[in-house]
Structure 1
Amino acid sequence: MLGRLLHGRPHPGAPGAIGHARAYEVFSGLGFAGRRRRLYGQLVALSGVRPGEHVLDVGCGTGYLARMMAETVAPDGTVLGVDPSGPMIRYARDHTRLGGCTFSEGFAEDLDAPDGTFDVVVTSLAVHHIPEAKRAQAIKEMFRVLRPGGRVLIADYRPPSGRLARRLIGPLSGPVMRHNPVHLLEPLAREAGFGGLNSGDLRPFLHFVRGVKPAADERGRGVAGEAAG
């Protein structure tokens, strides 16, 4: 299966991590059918990122989205890409020539950053690689490292709806992507504390959720209101 080719030897702390960066880039180019930059440009726009902001890309892979984010936040903003796969991080570093765009090995469910560090957190095509039992904690970590008023954009693979397409994607990607429960992303974001949630689809196969970390006074009013009720 494609999954076995891309993943290689399982990572002890992240069994879904991709180990073959060059193969991933080749298959991404084929899978996006020449529309990768356009699709990721839509993700940049959906994130609402602005020049001068500080961005975290969780599960950054080879750094494709992180580099596009860095182009947008330049010259004074920064982008940090985090991924558990050493080969993906090395590839991202070797292919990035943008100031303020850096990469580090790390786990989504245990981010190595202080509270309130970033203005924007993004993650694309990464949540389905996180073990199911750790996904809620990963999104809570995204909430933690955002400043009050910061924004999150979570985009992941949306399984095809047609029976034929599901049969075709199955042998290539395996059950994780064929049955990827993207409908749970918004409830997980809500549980983590995000407000202002909205979601949608980007053709051909992405589902996204956007949210905002409430300002401290807004969270306080919510707690006070619940107590009064």
Structure 2
Amino acid sequence: MKEYENMEERKAVLGLAGVNDKEILDIGAGPLAILAAQEYECFVTSVDIDTVKLREFEAEAEAAGVGEKISFEEGDASDLPYCKDAFDIGICFGALHHVPGDLREQVIRELARVSYERFVVAEYTPEGFQEIHGGDERYSPVDLSDLESLLAGAGKVAIHRLDSMVVYVIDRR
């Protein structure tokens, strides 16, 4: 797998999520799905609206030898085509700020709906966002206070602070 920024944070998120041998949904195609399949023995469904990004990471998964453990599917995270509790764990790693502000709450609702055991939202702190996307007007930072309020009604929330991210693990059971 290529070298990517934040690989240690991805490993930390997967560890906090307790993904070993689980079936997970990954919102936003990226290296997290490959890492989950390689090191945590997960079966992953990676959903993204960007077909170019999906094909890129599908090729990387094949090259890494885990293509059979990851399904790359084009889809809108605010309207997922899966039934309730379809996955053990749902993860949204640094993808929520790519979603238009008016759809973010719906993405969280959908992630909660399709996740049986727990779901995880990892989003950048203001400083982390600035470091990654500073000056790029296509994206807007997630207000972490608003996100915490929204997640409070979805289950038992554990909050973990990493270097440039805050990780919310929401237990559904």
With the shorter chain as reference, the TM-score category is 0.7 to 0.9
The correspondence for 1:121, drawn from 65, 85, 90, is 90
TM-score by length of 1: 0.66
Task: Report what 2:34 is aligned to.
Answer: 67
Q: Is the alpha carbon distance of 1:48 and 1:174 closer, same or farther for their aligned partners in structure 2, counting shifts above 3 Å?
A: same
User: Match of 2:152, as an amino acid?
Assistant: R
1:91 aligns with 2:61: no
Aligned to 1:218: none
For 1:186, the equivalent position in structure 2 comes to: 148
Are 2:17 and 1:47 aligned? yes
Task: State the shift of 1:187 in Å.
Answer: 1.6
Counting aligned pairs with the same residue, the percent is 25
Aligned partners of 1:157, 1:68: CA distance in 2, in Å?
Answer: 20
Q: How is 1:101-120 mapped onto 2 (pairs within 5 angstroms)?
A: 101-120=70-89
Question: Higher strand fraction: Structure 1 or Structure 2?
Answer: 2
Instruction: Tell me: CA distance 1:168–1:134, structure 2 relative to 1, closer, same or farther (3 Å).
Output: closer
Alignment correspondent of 1:158: 125
2:52 counterpart letter in structure 1? P
Deviating beyond 2 angstroms after TM superposition, the runs of 4 or more aligned structure 1 residues are 71-74, 165-171, 173-177
What one-letter code is carried by the residue in structure 2 that aligns with 1:137? Q
In structure 1, the gaps of 5 or more residues are 1-24, 215-229
From the superposition, tell whether residues 41 and 168 of structure 1 become closer, same or farther in structure 2 (CA, over 3 Å).
Answer: closer
Distance of 1:168 and 1:128 partners within structure 2: 11
Q: Select the residue among 197, 204, 208 that pairs with 2:157.
A: 197
Q: Check 1:100–1:166 CA distance in 2 against 1; reply closer, same or farther (3 A cut).
A: closer
Q: Hey, what's the Cα distance between the residues in 1 that align with 2:152 and 2:120?
A: 13
Q: Distance in 1 between matches of 2:92 and 2:161?
A: 15
C-alpha distance in 1, partners of 2:99/2:115? 20
1:210 matched to 2:169? The reply is yes
Q: Which residue of 1 aligns with 2:43?
A: 78
Q: Which runs of 5+ in 2 are unaligned?
A: none
Change (3 A) 1:71 1:195: same
Q: Does the 8 A contact of 1:49 with 1:72 survive in 2?
A: no
Greater relative contact order, per chain length (Cα 8 Å cut-off, separation 6+): 2
| TM-score, structure 2 as length reference | 0.85
How many residues of Structure 1 are paired with residues of Structure 2 in the alignment?
Answer: 168
Aligned-pair CA distance for 1:132: 1.0
Normalized per residue, which structure has more helix? 1
Query: For the residues of structure 2 that align with 1:137 and 1:202, how far apart are their CA atoms?
Result: 25
Tell me, yes or no, if the aligned pair for 1:185 and 1:209 is still in contact at 8 Å. no
Distance 1:64 1:157 in 2: 17
